[in-house]
Amino acid sequence: MRRKLAAGNWKMNGLSTQLDQLDALTTAHTDPTVDLMICPPDTLVGAAAARVGNKPLMIGGQDCHHATSGAHTGDTSAEMLADAGAKAVILGHSERREDHGESDELIRQKARAAHEAGLITVICVGESLEQREAANTLDIIGGQLAASIPDNSTGENLVVAYEPIWAIGTGKIPTLDQIGEVHDFIRARLERRFGTGVGRSTRLLYGGSVKPANATEIFAVSNVDGALVGGASLKAEDFTGIISALEAAV
């Protein structure tokens, strides 16, 4: 059985006062039946990890460098994130792919390093609106999966997030059939490459405009094991609504 996962991506949002939201989450969810994760900006990772302590809320980074250390001004390694208390890292988010020109190959190197540092990776894939309209969605996703997921992935250290680029921060979501089609496809590709053991134990998240109001219907889609949430993870009250919907999903 895959344990469901509600992951929040704070992106470039949050000063130290934002850590109060973590207290609100851990108070509202003392014994969650799903895994919880918040990925704050790097500046807050250490303080966030210290703030949650042993409570059931993982802290993660939003990116890492593929090298362990060295002359890479401005970058953070996977080992540094782990040292700061992170348990996970988001990689290949479309904002990284677009703003920083990250390729699948680079994302694979980063993910390999993150796994070696003992982190869970949340590897993001997703099509643009043009690609969907040209009926290229599955080809694009298939290519991203093949090239950005490293061979050292296991059912424990790999999470894949399907995030259609056009659904991120827009309030638009695909139809439930479209979400199901992509998630079934991702599951099948993982099983084909890694075997059924890894393929069936890897968690698949949907991301893009997930809110308390649409979470229940999204979580009812087959092969959706949780969500990667941006805007609605910034306020504990909103994220709690999504967590509760995930706990209620069968």
Burial label, 71 (beta-carbon count in 10 A; 0-12, 13-18, 19+): exposed
Q: Is 231 an interacting residue with respect to ligand PGA (CB under 6 A)?
A: yes
- Nearest of 174, 162, 132 to residue 227 by alpha carbon: 162
Residue nearest ligand PGA by beta-carbon distance:
230
**Count of residues that bind ligand PGA according to CB under 6 A:** 13
Q: Is 230 an interacting residue with respect to ligand PGA (CB under 6 A)?
A: yes
For the record, the structure tokens of 241 come out as 């609504």
Q: Is 209 an interacting residue with respect to ligand PGA (CB under 6 A)?
A: yes
Q: Is 226 an interacting residue with respect to ligand PGA (CB under 6 A)?
A: no
Q: Is 62 an interacting residue with respect to ligand PGA (CB under 6 A)?
A: no
* 123 vs 144: CA distance, rounded Å: 10
Of 62-70, 74-82, 151-159, 225-233, the segment contacting ligand PGA by CB under 6 A is 225-233
Q: Count Cα neighbours of 131 within 13 Å in the Cβ-side half-sphere.
A: 15
Binding to ligand PGA (CB under 6 A) within 30-59 occurs at none
**CB of 95 vs ligand PGA, minimal distance in Å:** 7
Contact 219, 244 (CB under 8 A): no
For the record, the structure tokens of 225 come out as 């094991």
Contact 159, 190 (CB under 8 A): no
**CB of 169 vs ligand PGA, minimal distance in Å:** 4
* 239 vs 232: CA distance, rounded Å: 6
Question: Active site includes 93?
Answer: yes
**Which is nearer to ligand PGA, 40 or 231 (by Cβ)?**
231
Alpha-helical (H) ranges within the chain are 20-28, 42-52, 78-83, 94-99, 104-116, 129-133, 137-148, 176-194, 196-201, 212-219, 236-248
Question: Active site includes 72?
Answer: no
Binding to ligand PGA (CB under 6 A) within 101-140 occurs at none
By CB under 6 A, name the one of 210, 224, 246, 249 that touches ligand PGA.
210
**CB of 205 vs ligand PGA, minimal distance in Å:** 9
**CB of 64 vs ligand PGA, minimal distance in Å:** 17
Interface residues with ligand PGA (CB under 6 A) are 9, 163, 168-169, 207-210, 228-232
Please give the positions annotated as active site.
93, 163
